[in-house]
Structure 1
Amino acid sequence: MIRSGAKGAAAQAGLVLLHGRGGDAQDILGLLTHAALPDVAAVAPTAQGNSWWSSSFLAPSAQMEPHLARGLAVVRDAVAALEADGLPRSSIWLAGFSQGACLALEAFARDGDGLAGVFGFSGGLVGVEDAPGGADAALYGHGPKVLDYPGRRDGTAVWLSVHQRDPHIPLKRVEDTATALRAMGAGVQVQVYPGAGHAVMREDIAALRAALNRAHPAASFSRP
């Protein structure tokens, strides 16, 4: 796990950053620099083999769950590291790209009680179990998942982004993710980019800065 950004009492917020398939902690920490967030304490773990799981996040739950359990434990440890530095959970955010976005969103839904919010750049919820129904073209040939989580996320902020034709993240799963998190009380914004693509966009960085500015107005985050 790599740490970057503000330290100790200088930190106004905490950010757990989760990389995508084939990436690492150093890659995703580049977001912190690009977003110009000097008052944020960031932690970024690296997945074993640089992937949180070897399949699509849309794979059957029995295939996903062992990998997901390990990933969720890593996220819990990262949050705990920020808490140990004195940051309250209400000042800690999760963010990720691609696989990392899926893991961040799932961690927020399952374990995110008290956290400030989550940014899912090109990602969606993994789901708690397989749902009835067969292969769905809108899910790239995979079956549906149950996206029903206990607990509430009232007062939290969620940003979801995806391209209309993302080769890895179906728009339908992002839409279903928004519905599930809104049902938990979260304030959800969805940004759909036109065309094909799979990337962190300029609008994503602006949304990250804007959310932190709203939640932590005394901090010196760069304003878009």
Structure 2
Amino acid sequence: MNRIDGPRLAPISGQPAEGLVIFLHGYGADGNDLIDLGRAFQPHLPNVAFVSPHAPQPCAMAPMGRQWFHLTLRDPDEYRTGALESAPALDAFIDAERDRLKIADDRIVLVGFSQGTMMALHVGLRRKAALGGIVGYSGALAGPEHLSEVTSHPPITLIHGDRDEVLPIDCLHEAVAALGAADIPVEFHVCPGLAHGIDQRGLALGLAAIRAGLGIK
């Protein structure tokens, strides 16, 4: 199992962390890609820590970046196969950060983008104890036919642009339908005119979901 690590931000309050947000970047990026979201959220979450680990594998298509798993876009099962491969490293990382900060599982929110959303959903739904929440941007659900494996039900918020050509908006609707059929509650939002990315509305929605997941008014 590959160990993962990445940039961190301590609570700007200077007090011990009362919560943790873990960002999971997309294919070909690295942990530095999303840690700036933590800087944007810090003024609204002064007692929360942030971390953005680098995925465990070098990216085949972007040598300077990382990947949670390899993509061929030819194998219909590769999302699930890849998520299974990297799940132990992410699971161990969540445990280590939880123990380092001395917080409970329900004080942790996973925020994924694209391939990172696939990992957030796969791992976050299979933890022994429920996390505070999962926020997924521009992603998909890996192996929707395997939701019988789910062991916890954290609040889920999915956000997707209707002009996404990398993971089309159908990926959002398919994920919502599969989660709903498995009696897993999910809130979702469509961002009009948005391609594969995160806009200001998406940031506001994500921040609101994090605050709700951590019980911050």
TM-score normalised according to structure 1 size = 0.77
Task: Give the counterpart letter for 1:103 in structure 2.
Answer: M
5 Å-filtered alignment, 1:146-161, equals 146-151=145-150, 153-154=152-153, 156-161=154-159
1:195 matched to 2:193? The reply is: yes
Displacement of 1:147 in angstroms is 4.8
Displacement of 1:57 in angstroms is 7.1
- 2: CA distance between counterparts of 1:58 and 1:159? 28
Displacement of 1:184 in angstroms is 4.8
Task: Give the counterpart letter for 1:150 in structure 2.
Answer: E
- Give a deviation string over 1:4-25, Cα, whole Å, max 9, x none: 2229962111112111112111
5 Å-filtered alignment, 1:86-125, equals 86-111=102-127, 113-125=129-141
Identity of aligned residues (%): 26
Task: Give the counterpart letter for 1:120 in structure 2.
Answer: G
Displacement of 1:123 in angstroms is 0.4
RMSD: 2.7
- 2: CA distance between counterparts of 1:158 and 1:58? 29
Is there any run of 5+ residues in structure 1 with no aligned partner, and where? 128-144, 220-224
Say which is worse superposed, 115-124 or 200-209, in terms of deviation.
200-209
Q: Secondary structure at the match of 1:95?
A: strand
Displacement of 1:66 in angstroms is 4.9
> CA contact under 8 A between 1:165 and 1:195: conserved in structure 2?
yes
1:80 matched to 2:95? The reply is: yes
Which of the two has greater strand per residue?
A: 1
Say which is worse superposed, 145-154 or 110-119, in terms of deviation.
145-154
TM-score normalised according to structure 2 size = 0.79
Quote the residue 1:126 is aligned against. Answer: 142
Judging changes above 3 Å, is the alpha-carbon distance between structure 1 residues 203 and 29 closer, same or farther for their aligned structure 2 residues?
A: same
5 Å-filtered alignment, 1:1-224, equals 1-2=5-6, 3-6=8-11, 10-36=16-42, 37-47=45-55, 48-49=57-58, 50-55=66-71, 59-61=75-77, 63-84=78-99, 85-111=101-127, 113-127=129-143, 146-151=145-150, 153-154=152-153, 156-195=154-193, 197-217=195-215
Displacement of 1:115 in angstroms is 0.9
Is there any run of 5+ residues in structure 2 with no aligned partner, and where? 59-65
